[in-house]
């Protein structure tokens, strides 16, 4: 939930089971999932995870919904549907990717890049992608709805909470100047995605649509990266169960238009395959990282790391860094908007992603045809 600081101290739960009288449950634990050291002290709404035990007399029943109240007889002003996506098979699937609220109302052309991004994740081994959506251009809606029908993509439409603005045309500007409000709210999306998928997927991966964790060397899939390479190495180093496996961040430049040195054998609409010049230097350890998070341990998530784990009151979840020869986070610049994307840079050519070139071009081209973005006669956008 997101609320004013410290007001959760007086909150309790009413659990609704069918037509029965609601059951009262005191909050057993309140976890503040932001860190005041990160700023945003003056923001009005802050994120929490509240735990309310189901009363013993209800056994293994799952409530239909939960209401937060101050006292058992208070008039309810909210009602939250309980989502319990239980394991349907013998084992969990591997990877669910969670994407924070898309706010791309005025980014029509990004739909093409989104197709390439989704198809690369499929090739790498993602089993599902969950998009939280504020406001997007109709082209992006067309892409997302295509994958809802043809693959395992879920769209969850959201709004900014409370008194915060929700005017579609103004959202990019509003959130640009209210970055703290946006970042506080994002923790709700990430943790919600964790809880909706924790019983069905072994790892949750938080990614923006301009970045991908890419295996390197001879490793081609996330499954190989985690199960065949990293887990044996990590356990050999320390025999514990790790909460997160961390990928270092490195920027790939958005410079093709200004340099006009396109690779002729690769379609221009393949942004990641065309843009293979990156900074030679990685962002410092811990900066801009992304990770695979173990759903058996995680209680709450931040954009870049696990915020809390089971049995870890000090909020210090055990993590393991991928060896750079095995994987890194490829963060694709959008023009020069990010300080890490400015020129001149100490650049190097990194064509590792070309290992997936033929499969990726075929998949993207087919989807662009099916969705009407690519003219079937002459293969032009």
Q: What is the pLDDT of residue 36?
A: 79
Q: What is the pLDDT of residue 379?
A: 53
Q: Are 232 and 343 in contact (CB under 8 A)?
A: no
Report the chain's mean pLDDT, rounded to a whole number: 92
Residue 375 domain flag: no
Residue 379 domain flag: no
Judge if 98 and 52 occupy the same domain: no
Judge if 115 and 197 occupy the same domain: yes
Judge if 131 and 244 occupy the same domain: yes
Judge if 101 and 194 occupy the same domain: yes
Regions of the chain where pLDDT drops below 50: none
Q: What is the pLDDT of residue 314?
A: 66
Bridging pattern class, strands 277-279 and 347-349: antiparallel
Residue that is last in its domain, among 48, 81, 114:
81
Judge if 99 and 37 occupy the same domain: no
CATH number at residue 234: 3.90.550
Residue 88 domain flag: no
Judge if 214 and 345 occupy the same domain: yes
Instruction: Note the pTM of the prediction, 2 decimals.
Output: 0.94
Judge if 97 and 73 occupy the same domain: no
Judge if 223 and 360 occupy the same domain: yes
Q: What is the pLDDT of residue 336?
A: 66
Q: What is the pLDDT of residue 269?
A: 96
Q: What is the pLDDT of residue 362?
A: 98
pLDDT tens digit sequence for 254-284: 988 888 899 999 999 999 999 999 999 999 9
Judge if 100 and 162 occupy the same domain: yes
> How many structural domains are present in the chain?
2
Residue 380 domain flag: no
Judge if 343 and 198 occupy the same domain: yes
Q: What is the pLDDT of residue 315?
A: 66
Q: What is the pLDDT of residue 381?
A: 62
Residue that is last in its domain, among 45, 61, 81:
81
Identify the domain containing residue 235 by its residue range: 93-370
Residue that is last in its domain, among 21, 50, 81:
81
């Amino acid at each position: 939930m997101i609320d004013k600081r410290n007001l959760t101290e007086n909150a309790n739960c009413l659990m609704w089971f069918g037509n029965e009288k609601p059951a009262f449950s005191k909050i057993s634990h309140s976890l503040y999932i932001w860190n005041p050291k990160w700023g945003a002290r003056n923001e009005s709404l802050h994120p929490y995870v509240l735990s309310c035990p189901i009363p013993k007399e209800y056994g293994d029943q799952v409530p239909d919904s939960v209401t937060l109240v101050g006292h058992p007889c208070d008039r309810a002003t909210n009602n939250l549907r309980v989502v319990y996506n239980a394991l349907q098979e013998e084992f969990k699937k591997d990877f669910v990717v969670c994407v924070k609220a898309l706010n791309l109302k005025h980014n029509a052309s990004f739909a093409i890049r989104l197709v390439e991004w989704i198809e690369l994740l499929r090739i790498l081994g993602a089993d599902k992608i969950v998009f939280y959506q504020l406001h997007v251009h109709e082209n992006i809606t067309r892409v997302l709805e295509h994958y809802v029908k043809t693959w395992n993509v879920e769209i969850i439409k959201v709004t900014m909470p409370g008194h915060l603005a929700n005017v579609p045309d103004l959202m990019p500007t509003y959130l640009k100047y209210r970055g703290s409000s946006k970042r506080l709210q994002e923790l709700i999306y990430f943790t919600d995605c964790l809880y909706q998928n924790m019983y069905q997927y072994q790892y949750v991966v938080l990614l923006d649509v301009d970045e991908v964790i890419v295996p390197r060397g001879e490793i081609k899939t996330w499954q190989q990266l985690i199960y065949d390479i990293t887990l044996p190495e990590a356990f050999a180093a320390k025999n514990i169960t790790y909460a997160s496996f961390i990928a270092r961040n490195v920027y790939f430049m958005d410079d093709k238009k200004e340099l006009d040195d396109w690779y002729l054998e690769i379609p221009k609409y393949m942004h990641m395959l065309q843009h293979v010049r990156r900074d030679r230097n990685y962002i410092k350890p811990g900066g801009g990282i992304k990770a695979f998070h173990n759903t058996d341990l995680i209680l709450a998530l931040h954009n870049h790391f696990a915020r809390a784990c089971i049995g870890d009151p000090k909020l210090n979840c055990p993590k393991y860094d991928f060896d750079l020869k095995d994987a890194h986070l490829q963060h694709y610049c959008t023009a020069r908007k990010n300080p890490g994307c400015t020129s001149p840079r100490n650049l190097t050519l990194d064509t590792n992603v070309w290992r997936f070139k033929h499969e990726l071009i075929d998949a993207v081209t087919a989807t662009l045809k099916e969705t009407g973005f690519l003219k079937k006669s002459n293969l032009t956008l």
